[in-house]
Structures are given as C-alpha cells and as structure tokens.
Structure 1
Amino acid sequence: MSIVITGDTHGTFDIGKVVRYFNEHEDEYTRDDYLIICGDVGICGFSAAYEANTRAVFRSLPVTTLFIDGNHENFEQLNSYAVEQWNGGKVHIIEDNMIHLMRGQIFTIDGLKFFTFGGAYS
C-alpha cells in the first residue's frame, strides 16, 4: 500500500499535476493505494457541472482518494452524506473511491496514524 499526499486541487482547476503524476506511474498504483488531498478538493462542488467534471477525473485515477475539507467546499452538500466509521474515524463516503475524512478524527491506515483538522473560512 502506498500513500500520495498533496494540497489543494480546487476541482479541475489544479488537478492536472495529480493526473500527470499518476499517468507517469500508471502501473504502480491500485485502489488499495491512497491519494490524500489536504483541502479544497471540489468533489462536492458549487455547481452540478463542476462537480461532475471533478468526480470524473477522480474516478479515472487508479487510487482511492481521501480528502480533508478546505474552505472552498460545499459544506451543505458534503454534510448531507451519512456519517460512517472508517479506519478508526468518522467519514462521509462520497463514492466507493472518494472518502471525506472528517475534521478532528484519528485514522489508522496501514499502521500509520493521521489526525485530520481544518478551520479555514472564506
């Protein structure tokens, strides 16, 4: 299992760097590997078209995307998903390979512990 961590992707605005990385390493990753995005993802976007395009990109990646919300998320939509337990913490499962790691949680992934927090507001 591998973990790739990046910062804000802002939906399709800045996701190209992530797509290029996985294209260059396409045979090295599977859905058992994780991409962790630290805020401003756009999976729960501010328009249906924007969100659909963003999710299509993440569906095409070979990994499971885990994300922490940033200040540019649609919180009303994000919080409409059921709260579930996953690897020790609370999550919103957006799609099978897109999981929102809720704030203030501790997750254990392959023996590594991650604490999620946030607080930016705009």
Structure 2
Amino acid sequence: MYVTGDLHGYIDIGKLNSKRFPINRDLSKDDFVIIAGDFGLVWDNKNDELYWRKWLAQKNFSTLFIDGNHENFQLLNSYPEENWNGGNVHRISESIIHLMRGQIFTIKGYKIFTFGGAQSHTS
C-alpha cells in the first residue's frame, strides 16, 4: 500500500507514472495507491478527465482516494454507494474507488479511518 497527496486532477498525476513511481511496474490490482485528498478526476466528466481516469485505471495498481476540499461533491456523490472492506465507497471504475468520509476500512490488515479536507479560505 502506498499513500500520496493531492493530484488536483491531471495537474499532478505525473507522480504516478512509471518514471517517477517505478515500483508500479511490480504491483498488481490487489495493491493500492491511496490519494489523500484533492483527487480531482471526478470534476466534470469531460474528455480530458475521462482520458486520465482511463490512464489511471490501466495502471497495475488500484487507486483509492479520500476526498479533499477541492472536489466536485455533487458529481462525486451521484455515484452509487456500496460497502467495501468495511466502509462505504463510491466506485468510480473497477479500480478507482472513493473512500467516503467518516468510515473505517480494513485494507491489507490495516485499519484506516477516512476524513475529508479542510475548508478553503480565500482572501
């Protein structure tokens, strides 16, 4: 299991490519990369976003993400809920799963509590 911070959509998705994350070549769909906030690839379902979700889904690993404060919650919450590893999720695709806030998951023997991001402040 690997954990990284924000992707902000495809702005920072390069951190998951094979050059910057070479171990991903040795992973399987039973291995997880957790995005800890601001996933950003469930924003407007336009072509560029769908391209990057497909790119991510084709990786050797499965992607789990916890929402941050920069998400399209209306769209995210339109996905059906299901129970997965002890908590509620939105399954975006077979290997991209949103871990909903306030849940406790058991993943690979670890208990993981999920909570969301802070409120954004603008000046």
- Provide TM-score, normalisation by structure 2: 0.88
Structure 2 stretches of 5 or more lacking a match?
none
Aligned to 2:103: 105
Name the CA distance, whole Å, in 2 between partners of 1:119 and 1:18.
21
Q: In structure 2, the residue corresponding to 1:56 is in which secondary structure?
A: helix
User: How far is 1:90 from its partner?
Assistant: 0.5
Amino acid at match of 2:62: T
Name the CA distance, whole Å, in 1 between partners of 2:25 and 2:82.
31
Aligned to 1:93: 91
Q: In structure 2, the residue corresponding to 1:65 is in which secondary structure?
A: strand
Name the CA distance, whole Å, in 1 between partners of 2:4 and 2:52.
16
Amino acid at match of 2:34: I
Name the CA distance, whole Å, in 2 between partners of 1:27 and 1:106.
29
Structure 1 stretches of 5 or more lacking a match?
none
- Pairwise CA RMSD: 1.5
Percent identity of the aligned residues?
A: 52
User: How far is 1:56 from its partner?
Assistant: 2.4
- Provide TM-score, normalisation by structure 1: 0.89
Deviation readout 1:20-75 (Å, 9 max, x if unpaired): 334x2243101000000001112202351342133023123211000000111111
Q: In structure 2, the residue corresponding to 1:46 is in which secondary structure?
A: coil
Name the CA distance, whole Å, in 2 between partners of 1:35 and 1:68.
11
- The number of residue pairs the alignment matches comes to 119
